[in-house]
Amino acid sequence: MKPIYIPEPFRIKSVEPLRILTREEREQKIAEANYNVFSLAARDVCIDLLTDSGTGAMSTAQWAGVMMGDESYAGADCYYKVQQAAKKIFGLPHVQLVHQGRAAEKVLLPILLEGKKYAIANMHFDTTRAHVELAGARAIDCVVPEALDTTAYFDFKGNMDCEKLEAYIRDLGAENIGVIIMTITNNSAGGQPVSVENIRRTREIAHRYGIKFMIDAARFAENSYFVKQREPKFKDSSIAEIVRATFEDADCFAMSSKKDAIVNMGGLIGCRDKNIFELVKQRTISFEGFITYGGMSGRDIEALAQGLIEGIDENYLKYRIGQMEYLAARLEEGGIPFQSPVGGHAVFVDAKKLLPHIPYYEFPAQALAVELYREAGIRACDIGSFMLGNDPETGKQLEADFEFTRLAIPRRVYTQSHLDVIADALINIKERADEIKGYKIVEEPPILRHFTAKLRPL
């Protein structure tokens, strides 16, 4: 793979200066942050790859929308606009605004999991897992085995393992499973795509056993671009058509609008069943606000209505996925191991391979994230055992399938030279990899601990 950069299909109209610290200053800042990158002040970060969530740059049309946003409590103009855009794009008859993806999970999952014991997904994202557990159920992951081999090529490493899914359903009892979730793209497996064929097969299995089928839709547009590239049946389809095929017959979806809808805040719930939608509306009113704004301000709703449309533009998606492929090609040249082929929103560096001397319980991916900050002021994060946390029953540290340091790329924010800085930093770190030490946790909360835990180098 040769590094080829697809030019930005936009030009820059407004800029935000970056602060550049010295290595000594960075050493001090990361120690003060207890070696948890979530505790760093953003102003002390040069290239912020912590997440692609809510960090995208809005377009001129979106900023114009911010001025147009109708802030009426009930029935604002922007409410009708976003309803129209979302129903057209996803094809589900009922959509509800909420303030972000986990709010969608908080509202929807307890409805689906009422009286049930399990949720099964290709892979649960961390907040989805947390909301399954808060609803009193257990979250089971069922991704294809190809996802576990980070170097082998496979078109759709995000797919559900359908045979294993059926075995789980038979073992656990269909009546105990509240929902089968398809996360697109599969974030925790490295932003890996799921084929439309696999989505259809999973949905058919769910429905055959009378189980609800839900899509965790945060990166529905990036997934659809991969489908166009890799699933021959869809090579001549538009992104809009692929999105419709993806959501066809899904019972519901939960979505963070902070990813592919390119807004800084927002979420959506979609459902087909009128009775479920009634419950969704009731819970939205208690947790989020009245149904026509659902925890969002009118200006943000207006920007979302526009972002939904810009997010499925094929030229934008070509550039967007092109950035990942460029960075991946540079890392490949430099001999840095990563989840390959690269996913849609991030490069997942394989810290288990880069730092083989650090065991999972000393958090190699976290160690690499700290090192990237020291090296070049880059903020990345652990998607591995540090994020996975402890077994809810035994309290013991779980071993994750992967130890990834995630370089999430914000949408329309960084340029080719920023990507080069990232690649060069990793190549420098590789040179001295055997000197890098693991970490231990000295303080942690019981749930979603990676956001606030304090660490010390060993």
Ligand X SMILES: *Cc1c(COP(=O)(O)O)cnc(C)c1O
State the nearest-atom distance from the C-beta of 258 to ligand X, in Å. Answer: 5
Rounded to 5°, the CA angle 324-327-331 comes to 130
Q: What share of the chain is helix, strand, coil (3-state, %, to 5)?
A: 45, 15, 40
Which listed residue (218, 280, 378, 387) binds ligand X by CB under 6 A?
A: 218
| Number of neighbours of residue 151 by Cβ within 10 angstroms | 10
Which listed residue (35, 118, 125, 156) binds ligand X by CB under 6 A?
A: 125
- Residue 216 makes contact with ligand X by CB under 6 A: yes
Which listed residue (55, 96, 150, 183) binds ligand X by CB under 6 A?
A: 183
State the nearest-atom distance from the C-beta of 178 to ligand X, in Å. Answer: 17
State the nearest-atom distance from the C-beta of 442 to ligand X, in Å. Answer: 27
Which of 27, 35, 33 minimizes the C-alpha distance to 365? 35
As given in the structure block, the two tokens for residue 130 are 């947390």
- Which region among 197-205, 256-264, 319-327, 375-383 touches ligand X (by CB under 6 A)? 256-264
Residues 299-328 that bind ligand X (CB under 6 A): none
Are the beta carbons of 121 and 305 closer than 8 angstroms?
no
Which listed residue (55, 59, 122, 128) binds ligand X by CB under 6 A?
A: 128
- Which region among 235-243, 252-260, 384-392, 401-409 touches ligand X (by CB under 6 A)? 252-260
Type of residue numbered 136: G
- Residue 261 makes contact with ligand X by CB under 6 A: no
The residues carrying an active-site annotation are: 73, 125-126, 216, 218, 259, 450
User: What distance in Å separates the CA atoms of residue 427 and residue 278, rounded to the nearest whole number?
Assistant: 53
State the nearest-atom distance from the C-beta of 119 to ligand X, in Å. Answer: 13
Are the beta carbons of 277 and 44 closer than 8 angstroms?
no
* Cis upstream peptide for 341 (omega within 30°): yes
Show Cβ contacts of residue 392 under 8 Å, excluding neighbours closer than 6 positions: 133
Nearer to ligand X, 55 or 323 (CB): 55
- What are the Cα distances from residue 160, in Å, to 124, 142, 193, 241? 11, 6, 11, 22
Which listed residue (36, 53, 246, 385) binds ligand X by CB under 6 A?
A: 53
Per-residue x/- track, 67-106, ligand X (CB under 6 A): ---------------------------------xxx----
Q: How many helices (H) and strands (E) does the chain have?
A: 16, 14
State the nearest-atom distance from the C-beta of 283 to ligand X, in Å. Answer: 16
Interface residues with ligand X (CB under 6 A) are 53, 100-102, 125, 127-128, 183, 187, 216, 218, 256, 258-259, 267
